[in-house]
Structure 1
Amino acid sequence: MVENATYVTFILYLVVLLTVGIITYRMTNTLSDYILGGRNLNSWVAAFSAQASDFSGWLLIGLPGAAYAAGFGQWSLWIAVGLAIGAMFNWQYVAKRLRVYTQFSQDSITLPEFLENRYHDKSSLLRVIAAAFILIFFLFYTASGLVAGAKLFEGTFNFDYQNALIIGAIIIVVYTFLGGFLAVSWTDFFQAALMFIALVVTAVYGTYQIGGFGELFSQLADISPSLVDGFSGTAYDLEESSSMPWISAGAIGFAGIISALAWGLGYFGQPHILARFMAIRSKNEVRKSRLIAITMGVVLPLYGALLVGMVGIVNIDQPLDDPEQVFIVLVQMTYNPWIAGFLLAAVLAAIMSTVDSQLLVSSSALTEDFYARFFRRKASQKELVWVGRIAVLVIALVAVAIAWNEDSSVLELVSYAWAGFGATFGPAILFSLFWRKTTRNGVLAGMLVGGITVFVWGFNDTLAGFLYEMVPGFILSTIAIIIFSSFGGKPGKEVEEEYDRVVKEM
């Protein structure tokens, strides 16, 4: 009965996604339509789409799993704090100015194109380097999402891993291929709503069953005091104790807290999130979008995910072999089969809402920043749309190849890609929007230093174990931008005048 109900729920959900793809196919006529939806997103769709494309499957799998394994200990509490602060600052300071600036800069529709137009870069070096970093990091980011989707189908329906991987990839590619940005944004709207309901309802209902927050934290403290202490670590070791595997592991340390909080810095450089800011219908819609996104799209889901993990510690009798299954197990044991099926579809929603965005941004990098720039400058809009669609297929195939090994680590890939984008583009975007004296050479140096630092630091186990690669990457990128902008020539009169016009428009 449970399996049949889940099957029906999933099928209905997928039918809705494909229907949206077919409808938006008829609304997609130009490359701007395909990549940015013609800059016509309303405040609700922009807000929910930005956060749905942000959180992915880790919000319902990774974060509840971390909270189940460590409670408030380790990094789970601090990463939630860091992400909430980062998202708030991104919406508060970046969204509106980026929306205005991209339109002033020759109506730029991709991040690499914006950087090129912002600095009037005739060499196209900024654009090529930016697009290359986007493709590299998104291939691994997309692969991680496909792995998560495959494991969901594998665990829910007992599919073979490779078959589950192919099924999930086909579904995502079809509606992204057809409708482009409009399909992705509208499906993200429904997916974010589904994630919000799933996490908040499960967290609140689970806490109510236990007897309220006081009773929940009291029972957690009885199991291990470190579970309710944000400054202490908790080790989850089934070999040490199969019945009570939560073991206090001492203080987290300053570097651990900084590493977790630093996830918030990543927001400033995520192309798939910044694309939503660029696509908002008007700068006047940003304020409303910000309120919706921060409350319903960030704070409540994040802390709902933490509560789900901690409720699972108390409610699930037998400790889980895989902590990341806590949301799935809790849903199946708490609700009737039909509601459980509906909420489990939220996991698929979370995964798909990020993968589709990653495919689209990668496609835009290939189409707008390579094909249209270097091979077919006079290509028609219809041709560019179809090149974009073909690029989605090609990128998806490469990502499937990377994800083919079922032992692939989802969280490591996500963490690495998030740091890569944050360090490569975060300082570059902030300085481009807020410092008049930033130069093309400064931004180019910042991107190279930030991206290379993440590569080097992330592949060194000792360094990565001590401090999250986002921290040195972001700091060194910032220093590079300041140094090369201060001593590597002036921005140019046209660049400074355009900056002044944007400030006046704001």
Structure 2
Amino acid sequence: MTASTPLIITFAIYLSAMIAIGLYAWYSTRTFDDYILGGRSLGAFVTAMSAGASDMSGWLLMGLPGAIYLSGASEIWIVVGLLIGAWANWRFVAGPLRLYTERTRNALTLPDYFTHRFADDKRILRIISAAVILIFFAVYCASGIVAGARLFESVFGLPYAQALWYGAAATIVYTLIGGFLAVSWTDTVQASLMIFALILTPIMVIVGNGGIDESLALIRQVDPSRLDWIGKGGAIAIISSIAWGLGYFGQPHILARFMAADSVRSIPAARRIGMTWMAGCLIGSVAVGFFGIAWFGAHVDAAAEVNANSERVFILLAEQLFNPWIAGILLSAILAAVMSTLSCQLLVCSSVLTEDLYRGFLRKKAANRELVWVGRSGVLLIALVAIAIAWNPESRVLGLVSYAWAGFGAAFGPLILLSLYWKRINRNGALAGMLAGAATVILWKQSGSALYEIVPGFIAATIAIVIVSLLTREAPAAVQATHEAVKRELRTTGY
């Protein structure tokens, strides 16, 4: 299709605003700490919205609605798992991690935290965890670039290869310039735009179908199996879907938001704001895909494109149900989802390259200005790698996200939880768990099993951590003393 003038203007205004925020953040970025964690200055509202926006990538408006459109109600179990996992992450990880990273030499990254938490003088944990982050985030970033490419391909009629560059360019620019503050501030704007789109669009779809009862009747006519909550996959498919919630405990881009909060005391308010926003977005996303079945069942002549690629269901509904100006705002929400997650993932990769590899091994006494520019170079490098991975036009957003999500959830999830709550865990156990989790995900994925790879990966990592920690020497006394001190301090804050 050829984009209308209102669509072009709307997109241009949105992209210009994001870049302007990046430029403003440039002047607020004084040190490398500012570039990577914003000086740990985020209040409850920005922490909540930034964590939510960085979590809900392009899959929220493309991958999830597409899966619901294709398979029906049986895919809703993913939402159940995500809501449970996100709440548990806010409740049991956010506060303790915020405090623990500050008490372990002001750790700026997860590899930095693991190194100091376990007194790893040989820095093996730093190397392995940095490698895990770079490998899986390259795939995760590729999912965002694919989503952006699909958007520009559909809206502007661009060839896929050209759309890749347009979809990634604006995100790279404001992340490169403004660092963490730019990413967090733009996340807040983008999160607001996303929930607006996901409330308004399903309402209009339902109205266009004639109401909920009429929509359900249309879905029954199209394919009665899409009303089945169990689906063809049975219990294994349900377990796999709910298991998405396990991934939250190990996602570096989400955990970074917890680390950047201005205080542990801001976390409870941030949790309430974040979970309310998340529930609204997920319900809206499911409704778009589900009631989209009815819409395209009644408008068969307009269904060819969505049947060819179900991940375009939100895009096509926005174009068909709204005038071009409103459609432009709604479609900007997809770009917001893509940019919010991609930007923070690029920044995490950049921080790993700079803090954990460059300063950790090459230039220990590098100046702040030098580190910031190395960080910016890292953003560009990872973006180019992700574009190369996303080059295949057959790539699917949800498939790329699920693999990276499982990798982080299994490699880091059990380790984060046990590092915060179990004093007996030691460096050897941490290393064994990280390797066992990552390796199990990779091998299980290759096996072709119907069970989502995060389940065996999470179990294998947990078992490895516990067994190896118990069979080897306890952590040094100073490490255990820090653990007890953090526990006491958390009690004074209500944890």
TM over 0.5: yes
Is contact 2:249-2:409 (8 Å) kept?
Answer: yes
Partner of 1:303: 283
Partner of 1:160: 159
1:38-57 → structure 2 map (5 Å cutoff): 38-57=39-58
Q: Does 1:406 align with 2:407?
A: no
Partner of 1:385: 372
1:461-480 → structure 2 map (5 Å cutoff): 461=448, 463=449, 466-480=450-464
Partner of 1:358: 345
Deviations along 1:221-251, whole A, 9 cap, x unmatched?
3443322221133xxxxxxxxxxxxxxxxxx
Is contact 2:58-2:397 (8 Å) kept?
Answer: no
Amino acid at match of 2:62: I
Q: Does 1:335 align with 2:342?
A: no
Q: Distance in 2 between matches of 1:329 and 1:165?
A: 19
Instruction: Give structure 2 stretches of 5+ with no counterpart.
Output: 491-495
Q: Distance in 1 between matches of 2:363 and 2:199?
A: 49
Amino acid at match of 1:486: L
Partner of 1:247: none
Deviations along 1:451-488, whole A, 9 cap, x unmatched?
01111111222x2xx21110000000000001011111
Q: Distance in 2 between matches of 1:194 and 1:477?
A: 38
Partner of 1:450: 437
Give 1:211 shift.
4.4
Q: Distance in 2 between matches of 1:394 and 1:158?
A: 28
Give 1:369 shift.
0.2
Give 1:2 shift.
6.1
Between the two proteins, what is the percent identity of the paired residues? 51
Of residues 310, 318, 321 in structure 2, which corresponds to 1:323?
310
Of residues 484, 487, 491 in structure 2, which corresponds to 1:500?
484
Give 1:95 shift.
0.4
Amino acid at match of 1:488: T
Q: Distance in 1 between matches of 2:139 and 2:148?
A: 14
Partner of 2:13: 12
Of residues 407, 425, 434 in structure 2, which corresponds to 1:420?
407
Amino acid at match of 2:33: S
1:223-234 → structure 2 map (5 Å cutoff): 223-233=222-232
Partner of 1:246: none
Give 1:362 shift.
0.4
Residues 218 and 41 of structure 1, relative CA distance in 2, 3 Å threshold? same
Amino acid at match of 1:276: R
Partner of 2:331: 344
Deviations along 1:150-185, whole A, 9 cap, x unmatched?
121111101122222122222111100110000011
Amino acid at match of 1:30: T
Q: Distance in 2 between matches of 1:494 and 1:379?
A: 28
Partner of 1:237: none
Q: Distance in 1 between matches of 2:382 and 2:223?
A: 46
Amino acid at match of 2:409: G
Partner of 2:255: 274
Q: Distance in 1 between matches of 2:169 and 2:335?
A: 13
Partner of 1:293: 274
How many pairs align?
Answer: 482
Q: Distance in 2 between matches of 1:174 and 1:337?
A: 27
Partner of 1:205: 204
Partner of 2:467: 483
Partner of 1:243: none
Q: Distance in 2 between matches of 1:62 and 1:305?
A: 9
Q: Distance in 1 between matches of 2:457 and 2:313?
A: 33
Q: Distance in 2 between matches of 1:411 and 1:64?
A: 10
Report the 3-state secondary structure (helix = DSSP H, G, I; strand = E; otherwise coil) of the residue aligned with 1:379: coil
Deviations along 1:423-478, whole A, 9 cap, x unmatched?
000000000011111111111100000001111111222x2xx2111000000000
Q: Distance in 1 between matches of 2:287 and 2:168?
A: 31
Report the 3-state secondary structure (helix = DSSP H, G, I; strand = E; otherwise coil) of the residue aligned with 2:73: coil
Is contact 1:420-1:454 (8 Å) kept?
Answer: yes
Q: Does 1:191 align with 2:171?
A: no
Q: Distance in 1 between matches of 2:208 and 2:345?
A: 38
Is contact 2:145-2:168 (8 Å) kept?
Answer: yes
Deviations along 1:65-97, whole A, 9 cap, x unmatched?
111112202xx2110110111001101111011
Partner of 2:180: 181
Partner of 2:493: none
Q: Does 1:79 align with 2:73?
A: no
Is contact 2:61-2:314 (8 Å) kept?
Answer: yes
Amino acid at match of 1:494: A
Give 1:313 shift.
1.2
What TM-score, normalized by structure 2, do the two folds share?
Answer: 0.95
Instruction: Give structure 1 stretches of 5+ with no counterpart.
Output: 234-251
Is contact 2:250-2:412 (8 Å) kept?
Answer: yes
Is contact 2:292-2:313 (8 Å) kept?
Answer: yes
Is contact 2:250-2:409 (8 Å) kept?
Answer: yes
Of residues 355, 366, 372 in structure 2, which corresponds to 1:368?
355
Give 1:402 shift.
1.9
Q: Distance in 2 between matches of 1:9 and 1:224?
A: 37
Q: Distance in 2 between matches of 1:11 and 1:497?
A: 54
Q: Distance in 2 between matches of 1:222 and 1:174?
A: 47
Is contact 1:2-1:338 (8 Å) kept?
Answer: no
Partner of 1:94: 93
Q: Distance in 2 between matches of 1:70 and 1:396?
A: 32
Q: Distance in 2 between matches of 1:154 and 1:213?
A: 32
CA-based RMSD: 1.3
